Chains A and B, each alone.
Chain A
Amino acid sequence: MPVFFSDEELAVVEAACARLIPTDEDPGATEAGVAHYIDGFLGAFSFDPPRIWAGGAFSGRFGGSAGFASFHHLTPLDELAWRTRIEGSAGRPEREWNGPVVGLQERYREGLQLLGDDFTAVDGEEQDRRLRDHATFTRLLYEHACEGMYGAPEYGGNRDLVGWSYIGFDGDVQPRGYTDEEVSGP
């Protein structure tokens, strides 16, 4: 269940991300859950604590306890910054110390409009054409898609570590680290 997007919006985000990071012989954005990563980021304040910064020091994947899963609490200033960045200033004076801010939620809603309600129904070539035509939004979407594909899975993407697996990246290796031989050898 998405926390920010409607089901229809989520379907468009998913289809668009599948064009950006396609599925081939290896899993792509769809299998990694990239659209859910983006939904979780835009809906970060649906969680307590908000899902902005995963905890530390370890994920548990290479030993230690699974600290990544406990997100950091935010201070009032942190919350102000991230709500403003995500939700926009929305006319609230306390968020407009340097004037109005257009939030990520609004940029996504506008961007998805540009891609069109029928985006999931048109063929891949047409989807690519629309993504190229709306390059500003696509750049934003792609940046977040990269985070969702290759970031820590605690943020909602990179499911089953598919993003790291196909490129041979171990991800967070603390507290094991690498041996001196692994560092210095070919």
Chain B
Amino acid sequence: MTRDFDAIIVGSGPGGSTAADVLTAAGWSVVVFEKGRNHLIDLDDPRRLAEDFSNDEIKFMFRHFLGPDPLLEPRTFRRHDGEGDRIRIGQVNNVPSTVGGGGTHADGKTPRFREEDFRVLSEWGPVEGAAVADWPIAYGDLEPAYAEAERLIGVAGDAGANPFAAWRSGPYPMPPGAPMYGALVSSAAAAEMGWHPYPAPTAVNSVPYDDRPACNNCGFCAFFGCPIHAKGDPVASLRRALMSGRAELRPETFVSRILVSNGRATGVEYIDASGTTREERAGHVVLAAGGLETPRLLLLSGFDHPLIGRNVMFHFQTYVLGKLPMRVHPHKGRSVTHVHDDHLVPDDESLTAARAAGLPWFKGGMVEHAGPAHPIVEARFSPWGATHKDTMRRSEMREHLWGFCMQGEDLPQPTNRVDLDPSVRDVRGFPSLRVTYRPHRHEEAASAHYGAKLQACLKLAGAEWSLVHTSPGPVDPVPISRHVAGTVRMGTDPETSVCDEWGRLHDVPNVVVADSSPFPTGAGYGPTLTLVALAIRNIGKLAGTRGAAD
């Protein structure tokens, strides 16, 4: 068989970019398909980074600059089957669709998971209604890849600062950046509560690194592309892959089907920027389209493992925000500079609260210290009319608002799933992705328990008032968290998992998943560093098999 590439990679986010880097470094030729536009890198001269990102609230917050446009690519949502086909059409968990994927919009927090996150079932036991599972690998299997991921994308952090952290083989490649004033205030209160706040591990340069500048604290970080490319994820790996001369990146191309023959993938069918349907052949297909689009592509391709799309996990986000007497200027700095991990670890008090809620245990998640930073959002939450300007001048909802966002661990439930909507279509005519999701009482009980503690902490910090908001919650059942996982579960048993411990589909082993879809459990941490480390490990394994398909 003749073919132009050793591997096809679907998706150019953190997973796909890492896969491209690992494979090209091993001498493979790859083509990376990305359905979104390229605003990240000069494809003719990949040393040059694009100048399309900007400190522009209109463009990034309200006009879908990073995609996906919910009109072109609507998703649908319902809480459970009893609600009919859907209760929402449009924007459902829109992690960016653009060259660089989710890495472009994030503020770059890149914590490692803890050892016990890889063995939740063994450590804490089953929970009724949830498919709690151990990972088929242990933290130790991934540690070298974690270290490599931190070097590759450039993570700033303080190795000794978090007493709950897993062991690590070396220091962070960069020291932490400047602490935000509000985070110093809330961290002092958290320490008084007996907690252990520490500088957030962040893939944002604190010093010049990898031929990219240090962050200059512009404040347009979370939700915004970085105008000066001080964020390393995933531009560092993508640039390296392109500079090898062995990678080709094709933006605005939508992969619509994986072609399979005799139990092996032979290539993909795709629709190019002009709308023409084409095919590309390769020995291997790497799926890195994210926790929602990867299972969608498998379903569009007719893959029929019953667990594809099941156990979808988000993070149950608990926002606790309060009005501090002083101006904390959350628009100065890199969105989040401090976090604490105390609520990830069950203790006697949380176990008592769990039992009162009919649960054997619950876990919260990493708590980010942060406040809302931008005035259009603030204005929209402010009243119109005679009181508008005074409300904005006092700025209780921006300059004075500070608090916490807990990324609560979301237990996998087989009834929570993504599938193809029976009638809603994207602009190219393909079935939209549908999310069927409602939280387990585990998440709600953990949120209630830790939400009250975080309110007490804010009071200690001097807050005159505080509020708790959750997502999902009574205001909106659609989870706002862009952290998605679990939809192509990995494991050793083909009956209870879709891919193996190396990300290879049990049914079609030359298809390898390199995003967060394989996570058996979601942990209370953002998934990025872990999915990059998994890609380094799993695609490294694949690279060792080069030629085996010939």
Contacts and interface: CB of A to CB of B under 8 A. Distances in A.
Interface string B217-252: 111100000011000000000000000000000001
Contact of A147 (B376, B395, B424): B376
Contacts of B440: none
A75 B333 CA distance: 34
Given A97-B426, A163-B375, A186 B326 contact: yes
Interface in A118-158: 128, 131, 138, 142-143, 145-147, 149-152, 155
Contacts of B384: 19-21, 131, 138, 142, 145
Interface string B5-38: 0000000000000000000000000000000010
B71 A85 contact: yes
B58 A152 contact: yes
A24 B389 contact: yes
B59 A28 contact: no
Interface stretch (A4-12, A109-117, A168-176): A168-176
Contacts of B4: none
Interface string B34-53: 00010000000000000111
A76 B274 CA distance: 8
Interface in B163-190: 178-181, 184
Interface in A1-34: 19-22, 24, 26, 28
B51 A67 contact: yes
B393 A166 contact: yes
A138 B380 CA distance: 12
Contact of A175 (B228, B333, B392): B228
B375 A178 contact: no
A98 B74 contact: yes
Q: Which among A21, A164, A176 has the highest number of chain B CB atoms within 10 Å?
A: A21
User: Chain B at the A interface: mostly helix, strand, loop or mixed?
Assistant: loop
A183 B180 CA distance: 5
Contacts, number: 168
B306 to A, nearest CB: 29
B496 interface: no
Given A150-B375, A150-B376, A178-B216, A57 B54 contact: yes
Contacts of A76: 273, 275
A77 B428 CA distance: 10
A100 interface: no
Contacts of A84: 71
A55 B52 contact: yes
A45 interface: no
A183 B380 contact: no
Contacts of A149: 379
A145 B378 CA distance: 13
Interface string A44-77: 0000000011111111000000011000100111
Contacts of A185: 181
A102 interface: no
B71 A182 contact: no
Interface stretch (B61-69, B143-151, B153-161, B464-472): B61-69
B35 to A, nearest CB: 10
B448 interface: no
Given A72-B52, A177-B216, A53 B63 contact: yes
Contacts of A24: 389
B72 A80 contact: yes
Contacts of A179: 217
Interface string B371-392: 0000110111000111011001
B57 interface: yes
A154 to B, nearest CB: 8
A23 B287 CA distance: 54
Q: Which among A19, A55, A142, A174 has the highest number of chain B CB atoms within 10 Å?
A: A174
A65 B511 CA distance: 46
Contacts of B375: 150, 163-164, 167, 169
25 contacts: A20-B384, A20-B385, A21-B388, A22-B386, A26-B389, A55-B52, A56-B56, A98-B74, A142-B380, A149-B379, A150-B57, A152-B57, A163-B375, A166-B393, A167-B393, A169-B331, A172-B54, A172-B220, A177-B218, A178-B216, A178-B218, A182-B332, A183-B333, A184-B181, A186-B327
- The 6 tightest CB contacts between A and B, nearest first, are A177-B216, A172-B55, A56-B54, A146-B379, A180-B178, A57-B227
